[in-house]
Amino acid sequence: MPNIKSAKKRVLVTSTKNLQNKAAKSALRTDLKKFDQAAENGEKAEAQDLYKKAVVALDKAASEGLIHKNNAANKKSKMTRRLNKLA
């Protein structure tokens, strides 16, 4: 356990941020899984709506530093290709 006041604060802030990041990543994975499920079932209209939501979630995660911007671009590209195959 830290003795210095600023180090104690860093422990508290880090644990709080850790929980926030964990929740945000979980929500991102949920959005991606919902899109995958709709695409797997061939529900094009629902997949399009979920695609838009997932792209926004990926962009937000990349801007917040949860995932790398290239990782977000890669996932969006794969989702776009999968959506286009439904047509």
Higher pLDDT, 86 or 55: 55
Inter-residue contact 34 to 69 (CB < 8 Å): no
CATH number of 5-85: 1.20.58.110
pLDDT tens digits along 53-85: 999 999 999 999 999 999 999 999 999 999 999
**How far apart are the C-alpha atoms of 80 and 51, rounded to whole Å?**
8
**How far apart are the C-alpha atoms of 63 and 61, rounded to whole Å?**
6
Domains of the chain, by residue range, sit at: 5-85
pLDDT tens digits along 35-49: 999 999 999 999 999
pLDDT for the residue numbered 87: 75
* Angle made by CA atoms 23, 37, 67, in degrees to the nearest 5: 35
The predicted model scores a pTM of 0.86
